[in-house]
């Protein structure tokens, strides 16, 4: 063969990328719309709510002081730089969580179109056509990157629109915020591209990337909340986004960091891809036992077996999270040392600036935050039940003497139980570390544990929504995630934004008594438990009536 003929015969590594990209876009249009709509809603609503929340400079100063001194908020949302303008407030409130949302969207997109395709065997079908080795990964990352870019544009435009009534729109600030959000998403596009090459299943790839996301997010908050550790913020992509300081300084040069990190990650991903076989990961699969352990004798045991790695991982993460939060408690009083004006403002406005009260506020917020995150794990476990059904693994189980109720319980009730377990682990770690690092007499382990216990019925209600959907209306299961997100936003931001009580009451966590400051009120807890039980019962009734679905 002549040189030119050989060159023509060698398939290009990226052949078919365009087709794959179009195919993937067609499948994911709605998903992107949903994620981006949520992110835009968070940003625009913050901007629009500004004038209601901060009507005058005095309120602004007071609220700035109270937010800055609430360490729980700092851990979750990062340092308060300035709340004087709507843009700065929007940044503080929405940058962190919007970046998380866009990053999750990017991770899921990349993994869905690379690892998950290989798992299902579709990739094999595609690769047998004229498609280059790197086409699938390139198409997936291009798609995720485009979605991040779309999020940037959408956020920018929505903020500009929200600022129109005020007069001069701040294009630089809006663009900086949008770019910070999108750039963080790009970083996790790269991370997911790498994790999709490791591990043997898409669940592993998602879990690895998600774990890195969670660790870097917590790291950012912890660095901001612990005096002397501010440099840690620079280790996290979320820290990079924050350090762009949208609306305040718009430091565009900081964006070089996420872009560089993304580039490095993508190069690594393609290098690994070039070396591995389709369908396998770098981490291989070990052979298993020839017989089953005696305990593997029921759907409960099966559900535990399938989920135990996930539960172990989440428990470890929660223990770490609880310990980190607990370690910050002691330094709450130091806030005033770093910012003396804060104490004065708080005293002037009548809310007590005493360190003990601030500590109590913090200690009261942490169980709520931990409980909210625990609901994510619970809902995730319930959703595994749907995956099992759609992939045809529920059918053989239900063809044995397993009842539908037992099957639903093995996923639904298991979700409630493991969410509770994981949350308990985090609370125990938090309580122990707090008491160990603070002065004796601040709070006891028992009181903290009770403060944690009262959140549990609210967790059950949120996970219960997922159970009733799996049982009665599985087509609507994605709504469970919407419920989690809305509960999150309402609980964390609702009170701060002065939302009407009717809206706040939608979140079950609003009804949980503030045990540390107000004491125990049993009635709301009983009501929440009854609601959760009713949701479960409806789910069980529904699962006995519906047809089993496949694919």
Partner 1 sequence: MDAITITGLTKSFGGTRALDDLDLTVATGEVHGFLGPNGSGKSTTIRVLLGLLSADAGTVRLLGGDPWREATTLHRRLAYVPGDVTLWPLLSGGEVIDLMGRLRGGLDQRRRADLIERFELDPTKRGRSYSKGNKQKVALVAAFASDVELLILDEPSSGLDPLMEAVFQQVVAEEKDRGRTVLLSSHILSEVEALCDRVSIVRAGHVVDSGSLTELRHLTRTSLTAVVAAVPPGLGQHAGVHDLAVTQRTGGPATLRLDVEASWLGAVLTVLAGSGLQSLTSQPPTLEELFLRHYQAHP
How far is Cα 386 from Cα 412, in angstroms, rounded to an integer?
A: 10
Q: Does 396 bind partner 1 (CB under 8 A)?
A: yes
Closest CA to 384 of 311, 307, 312, 313: 307
Q: Which is nearer to partner 1, 10 or 545 (CB)?
A: 545
Q: Which is nearer to partner 1, 116 or 484 (CB)?
A: 116
Q: Which is nearer to partner 1, 68 or 206 (CB)?
A: 206
Closest CA to 454 of 519, 502, 406, 401: 519
Contact string 70-89 vs partner 1 (x = CB under 8 A): --------------------
What separation in angstroms does the CA of 97 have from each of 35, 101, 323, 366, 407? 12, 6, 22, 17, 35
Taking CB under 8 A as the criterion, the residue among 58, 264, 282, 292 binding partner 1 is 292
The 3 state secondary structure assigned to 1-68 is CCHHHHHHHCCCCCCCHHHHHHHHHHHHHHHHHHHHHHHHHHHHHHHHHHHHHCCCHHHHHHHHHHHH
Q: Which is nearer to partner 1, 130 or 297 (CB)?
A: 297
Helix axes 456-472, 478-497, angle to 10 degrees: 150
Q: Check if the beta carbon of residue 109 is closer than 8 Å to that of residue 147.
A: yes
Q: Which is nearer to partner 1, 123 or 254 (CB)?
A: 123
Q: Check if the beta carbon of residue 363 is closer than 8 Å to that of residue 516.
A: yes
Closest CA to 325 of 359, 291, 351: 359
Q: Does 289 bind partner 1 (CB under 8 A)?
A: yes
What lies within 8 Å, CB to CB, of 303 at 6+ separation is: 410, 411, 414
Q: How many CB atoms lie within 10 A of CB 320?
A: 16
Q: Does 398 bind partner 1 (CB under 8 A)?
A: yes
Q: Does 19 bind partner 1 (CB under 8 A)?
A: no
Query: Minimum distance between the CB of residue 300 and partner 1, rounded to whole angstroms?
Result: 11
Q: Does 3 bind partner 1 (CB under 8 A)?
A: no
Q: Which is nearer to partner 1, 19 or 200 (CB)?
A: 200
Per CB under 8 A, which region of 27-35, 40-48, 214-222, 280-288 contacts partner 1? Answer: 280-288
Q: Does 473 bind partner 1 (CB under 8 A)?
A: no
Rounded to the nearest 10 degrees, how much is the dihedral formed by the CA atoms of 462, 464, 467, 473? -80
Q: Check if the beta carbon of residue 186 is closer than 8 Å to that of residue 106.
A: yes
How far is Cα 367 from Cα 531, in angstroms, rounded to an integer?
A: 21
Cα 377 versus chain centre, distance: 10
Query: Minimum distance between the CB of residue 448 and partner 1, rounded to whole angstroms?
Result: 37
How far is Cα 281 from Cα 272, in angstroms, rounded to an integer?
A: 9
Taking CB under 8 A as the criterion, the residue among 15, 23, 41, 397 binding partner 1 is 397
Per CB under 8 A, which region of 67-75, 217-225, 301-309, 310-318 contacts partner 1? Answer: 301-309
Per CB under 8 A, which region of 292-300, 444-452, 494-502, 529-537 contacts partner 1? Answer: 292-300
Q: Which is nearer to partner 1, 375 or 410 (CB)?
A: 410
Q: How many CB atoms lie within 10 A of CB 67?
A: 17
Query: Minimum distance between the CB of residue 414 and partner 1, rounded to whole angstroms?
Result: 15
Taking CB under 8 A as the criterion, the residue among 33, 296, 436, 526 binding partner 1 is 296
Q: Which is nearer to partner 1, 234 or 304 (CB)?
A: 304
Q: Does 291 bind partner 1 (CB under 8 A)?
A: yes
Q: How many CB atoms lie within 10 A of CB 253?
A: 7
Q: Which is nearer to partner 1, 6 or 286 (CB)?
A: 286
What lies within 8 Å, CB to CB, of 391 at 6+ separation is: 551
Taking CB under 8 A as the criterion, the residue among 166, 338, 391, 505 binding partner 1 is 391
Per CB under 8 A, which region of 181-189, 296-304, 413-421, 440-448 contacts partner 1? Answer: 296-304
Per CB under 8 A, which region of 188-196, 218-226, 399-407, 425-433 contacts partner 1? Answer: 399-407
3-state helix, strand, coil in the chain (%, to 5): 80, 0, 20
Q: Which is nearer to partner 1, 287 or 350 (CB)?
A: 287
171-200: contacts with partner 1 (CB under 8 A): 200
Taking CB under 8 A as the criterion, the residue among 11, 263, 392, 495 binding partner 1 is 392
Taking CB under 8 A as the criterion, the residue among 235, 306, 421, 450 binding partner 1 is 306
Q: Check if the beta carbon of residue 405 is closer than 8 Å to that of residue 543.
A: yes
Contact string 404-433 vs partner 1 (x = CB under 8 A): x-----------------------------
Residues that bind partner 1 in the complex, under the rule CB under 8 A: 200-201, 285-293, 296-299, 302, 305-306, 391-393, 395-404, 545, 547-548
């Amino acid at each position: 063969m002549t040189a030119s003929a050989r060159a023509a015969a060698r398939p290009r590594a990226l052949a078919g990328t365009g087709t794959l990209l179009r195919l993937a876009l067609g499948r994911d249009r709605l998903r992107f719309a949903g994620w981006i709509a949520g992110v835009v809603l968070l940003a625009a609503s913050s901007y629009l709510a500004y004038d209601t929340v901060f009507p005058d400079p005095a309120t602004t100063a007071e609220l700035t002081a109270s937010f800055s001194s609430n360490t729980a908020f700092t851990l979750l949302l990062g340092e308060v730089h300035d709340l004087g303008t709507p843009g700065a407030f929007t940044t503080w409130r929405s940058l962190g969580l919007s970046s998380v949302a866009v990053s999750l969207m990017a991770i899921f997109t990349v993994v869905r179109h690379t690892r998950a395709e290989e798992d299902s065997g579709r990739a094999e079908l595609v690769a047998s056509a004229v498609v280059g080795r790197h086409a699938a990964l390139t198409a997936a990352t291009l798609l995720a990157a485009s979605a991040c870019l779309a999020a940037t544009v959408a956020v920018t435009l929505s903020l500009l629109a929200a600022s129109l009534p005020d007069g001069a729109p701040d294009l630089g600030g809006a663009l900086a915020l949008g770019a910070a959000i999108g750039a963080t998403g790009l970083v996790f596009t790269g991370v997911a591209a790498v994790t999709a090459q490791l591990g043997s299943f898409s669940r592993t790839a998602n879990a690895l990337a998600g774990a890195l996301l969670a660790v870097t997010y917590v790291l950012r908050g912890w660095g901001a909340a612990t005096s002397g550790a501010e440099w840690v913020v620079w280790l996290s992509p979320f820290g990079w986004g924050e350090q762009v300081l949208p609306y305040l300084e718009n430091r565009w040069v900081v964006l070089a960091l996420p872009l560089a990190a993304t580039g490095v990650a993508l190069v690594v991903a393609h290098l690994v891809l070039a070396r591995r076989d389709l369908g396998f990961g770098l981490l291989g699969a070990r052979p298993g036992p020839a017989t089953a352990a005696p305990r593997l004798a029921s759907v409960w045991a099966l559900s535990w077996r399938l989920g135990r790695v996930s539960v172990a991982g989440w428990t470890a993460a929660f223990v770490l999270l609880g310990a980190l939060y607990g370690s910050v408690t002691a330094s709450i009083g130091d806030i005033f040392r770093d910012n003396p004006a804060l104490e004065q403002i708080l005293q002037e406005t009548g809310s007590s600036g005493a360190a003990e009260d601030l500590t109590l506020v913090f200690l009261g917020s942490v169980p709520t935050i931990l409980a909210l995150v625990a609901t994510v794990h619970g809902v995730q476990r319930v959703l595994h039940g749907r995956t099992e059904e759609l992939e045809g693994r529920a059918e053989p189980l239900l063809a044995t003497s397993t009842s539908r109720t037992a099957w639903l319980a093995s996923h639904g009730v298991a979700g409630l139980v493991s969410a509770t377990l994981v949350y308990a682990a985090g609370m125990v770690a938090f309580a122990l570390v707090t008491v160990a690092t603070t002065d004796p007499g601040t709070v006891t382990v028992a009181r903290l544990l009770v403060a944690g216990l009262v959140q549990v019925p609210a967790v059950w209600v949120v996970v219960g929504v997922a159970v009733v959907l799996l049982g009665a209306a599985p087509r609507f299961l994605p709504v469970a995630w919407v419920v989690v997100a809305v509960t999150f936003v309402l609980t964390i931001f609702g009170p701060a934004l002065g939302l009407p009580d009717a809206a706040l009451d939608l979140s079950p966590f609003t009804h949980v008594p503030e045990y540390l400051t107000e004491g125990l009120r049993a009635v709301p807890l009983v009501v929440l438990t009854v609601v959760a039980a009713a949701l479960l019962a409806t789910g069980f009734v529904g699962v006995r009536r519906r047809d089993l679905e496949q694919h």
